[in-house]
Amino acid sequence: MPELPEVETIRRQLEPQLVGRTIVDASAFESDKFLPALLATGSRIDDVRRRGKYLLLPIRDERSESAGGGSELIVHLGMTGRLWVGPTTDAPEGAGHLRARWDLDDGRTLFFDDVRRFGRIAVLPAGDHASLPTLDALGPEPFDEAFNPEQLRAAVNGSTRAIKTQLLSQRVVAGVGNIYADEALFRARVHPQQPANSLGKAAVDRLREAIAWALDMGIAQGGAKIIHQRAYPVDDFPAVHGREGESCVGCGGSVKKITIAARGTYFCPSCQRLRQPKPKTPTV
DNA sequence: CGATTTCCCTGGCCGC
DNA sequence: TGCGGCCAGGGAAATC
């Protein structure tokens, strides 16, 4: 379940290995989700960027060079996607579900393995994300100035949905997945089912800070998955996610699990109370 | 048109 | 030990 911190970690690993390389050959699993990988053949990788959970690799070939605009190789890891550069064209043994491979001009190969096939690959004209609606409507990066209290309040204001559902939509802020949504809401002491438009100013401010904090910590640790594999607990993180029945690190109460938007949702009912919205326009 | 539900996938886990 | 059944979950499509 790569979320923003995991994707950023992967981006940092790939960048020095891919920038400047030309893709000399490619192959892909027979599926519309992965076949676009072939379209990158013959192109040079100019950069390795990230937006939310999407990896964006600007690429260019002779044709696009003369035409002026480049393309982007876009990779989403879905639930189980893994992306790495191998020293040769031989895939290591652990790669049991290869969905795409790009052979590079230095003899190495970029592999994409994805057990559940929730991942996706696209090659599109640079900036043309119309065919990827979530990317097209992606909210600001959590560490960008554009992700500020005013923006979050405005984004949250227009919806009656549960705040967690809003966070997972990627439109309010980019890159928050199930784990970090739970952790940010816990830190901000906001109930995951609180209607988005009923959050007070203070709660919105806490939530904004908590989202940035959680994702930043995730990056610092190299991704929640890696944290999960380490001796537990590490800095009480994750504090609630995956800890049903354990005692809350804040109050000692019991962590509960519910389902929101078909996602397992962990929270502390006493630290994160559902609050009645203040009526904004008093009805006489 | 916004919100909700369904679907895509397969390894892992549970119970018998 | 083997096996059926069910769950997880990001994002897009279908449906409400």
pLDDT single digits (tens) A73-106: 999 999 999 999 999 998 888 788 999 999 999 9
The per-residue pLDDT for A235 is 63
For residue A97, say whether its CB is under 7 Å from any atom of strand C.
Answer: no
* Bases of chain B within 7 A of a CB of the protein: 2-11
pLDDT band at A232 (very low <50, low <70, confident <90, very high): very low
Question: CA-based angle A66:A72:A76, to the nearest 5?
Answer: 170
Beta strands in chain A (DSSP E): 23-28, 44-45, 49-51, 54-60, 71-76, 81-86, 98-104, 109-114, 120-125, 256-260, 263-267
Q: Gap from A78 CA to B3 C1', in Å?
A: 23
The answer to whether the C-beta of A168 is closer than 7 A to strand C is: yes
CB A43 within 8 A of CB A72: no
| Residue A80, SS3 per DSSP | coil
Q: Which nucleotide is nearest to A119 (CA to C1')?
A: C10
Q: Which two tokens stand for residue A115?
A: 């057990």
Task: Calculate helix-pair angle for A149-157, A201-221, nearest 10 degrees.
Answer: 110
Q: SS3 of A34, please? A: coil
Q: Which range has the worst mean pLDDT, A6-20, A115-129, A217-231? A: A217-231
- A119 CA – B16 C1', rounded, Å: 35
What average pLDDT does range A31-56 have in this prediction?
A: 96
Strand B close to A159 by CB, under 7 A? yes
Q: Residue A117 pLDDT more than 80?
A: yes
C1' (C16) to CA (A268) span, angstroms: 32
Query: Could you give the CA distance from residue A154 to residue A258 in angstroms, rounded to a whole number?
Result: 27
Write out the two tokens for A96: 């049991």
Q: How many Å does it take to go from CA A116 to C1' B16?
A: 28
pLDDT at A230 over 80: no
- Asked whether residue A95's C-beta has any atom of DNA/RNA strand B within 7 A, the reply is no
* pLDDT attached to residue A29: 95
pLDDT value of position A226: 46
Tens of pLDDT, residues A147-184: 999 999 999 988 999 999 999 999 999 999 999 999 99
Pairing of strands A54-60, A49-51: antiparallel
* Cβ of A118 less than 7 A from strand C: yes
pLDDT the model gives residue A279: 54
When comparing pLDDT for A220 and A203, which is higher?
A203
The Cα–Cα gap between A223 and A225 comes to 5
* The two structure tokens encoding residue A93: 């043994």
Percent of chain A with pLDDT over 70: 90
Task: Evaluate if the CB of A115 falls below 7 Å from strand B.
Answer: yes
Label residue A68 by pLDDT band (50, 70, 90). low
φ/ψ (deg, to 5) at A40: -85, -5
- A75: Cβ under 7 Å from strand C? no
Specify the pLDDT at position A236: 76
Q: Six-digit token pair at A44? A: 């040079």
The candidate with the shortest Cα–Cα distance to A58, out of A46, A76, A50, is: A46
The spacing between the Cα labelled CA in A107 and the C1' in C14, in angstroms, equals 45
Residue A221 pLDDT class (50, 70, 90 cuts): confident
A115 touches strand C (CB under 7 A): no
User: Which nucleotides in chain C lie closer than 7 A to a protein CB?
Assistant: 7-13
Residues with Cβ within 8 Å of A282's Cβ and at least 6 positions away in sequence, in order, are none
A254-271, pLDDT tens digit by residue? 999 999 988 999 999 999
CA A26 / C1′ B1 distance in Å: 41
Residue A60, strand partner residues: A44
Nucleotide nearest to A262 (CA to C1'): C9
Q: Which residues of A are catalytically annotated? A: 2-3, 53, 263
Judge whether residue A229 has pLDDT over 60: no
| A206 or A242, which is more confident | A206
